[in-house]
Amino acid sequence: MSNNHRLFTTPGNRLAKVFLLIFLLFTGLQQGLAEEQQTIRFGVLSIAQPSRIFTKWQPFADYMSQQLGQPVEIVVPRGFGKMKTTISAGEVDFFYINSHVFYRLKQEGKAIAIAQMLNIAGETTSRSEIFVRRDSDINNVDDLKGKHIAYVSPMGAGGYLAPRAFLNKSGLKSGVDIRETFTKNLSNSIHGVLLNDYDAAAMCGVNYKLMSKKIETGELRVVAVSDIYPENVIGARSDLPEKLIEQFRNELLTMEENPKGNKLLSDMHSMKIKSFVKYDEVMDEMTKNLLATGNL
């Protein structure tokens, strides 16, 4: 046996190899734990102020973190463009968005649906309402011609897509026969009509009822109601691991069965959320048809 071979097999070297093996195993375990504990980023696209969004959604993040065994943090991209960029850059994993935005992202291959919001009316669809001052001479859709209407956001579902499609279907081209304004705020739309800044405004009917609990709307009346449109969606980046998507989806769909989850859902009623249910692909076709009718 050579001197070099005897040197390699000395007890000291064998012990060093054992320590090296333990070190490598420990390092691998740490890396595995780090990956397991990687923060899940949940994006919320909303017209509300960021501080309000964080306040409203932090309990949801805390609940999902506890259920999944991973940290969940809220991310608030401002606007459709920023949300799309954030998703493309991998800076957000799951997100709560309206059906109009979701459809656009899905068409670009950036998002998949994992659940849909069931609103406090018990529906996965809603309708937009067009309202005016009670003393207005506007009594029906035809009377809106030549008038000024306030929408919430150009990427809104109930705040733009559905009412615009309804008006186009009724023979009025919004933006041509009717002047358009975007208020970016539900409260601004209501106050704008009350103060005669706009002749009419449109928003989700469920939101209008919720806002009526905060703002006196007795001087307003609804003159038209749109066709149905899909409610908000919880989506995921299309390149996320399937296992993580399934875990997140399962926690969403079983919230009502969990006492803590059920309590959380009750607290989310102010955001018109009753629960989350399985996404129905027919919603994509509904949004597609609204976009075609609205010429968007």
CATH class held by domain 38-122+231-283: alpha beta
pLDDT at 55: 95
- What is the full per-residue pLDDT of the chain (296 aa) written as tens digits? 444 444 445 555 555 554 555 554 554 544 444 445 699 999 999 888 899 999 999 999 999 999 999 999 999 998 888 898 999 899 999 999 999 999 999 999 999 999 999 999 999 999 999 999 999 999 999 999 999 999 999 999 999 999 999 999 999 999 999 999 999 999 999 999 999 999 999 999 999 999 999 999 999 999 999 999 999 999 999 999 999 999 999 999 999 999 999 999 999 999 999 999 999 999 999 999 999 999 99
pLDDT at 78: 87
CATH number assigned to the domain covering 127-229: 3.40.190.10
Q: By the 8 A CB rule, do 193 and 133 touch? A: yes
pLDDT at 187: 95
pLDDT at 31: 46
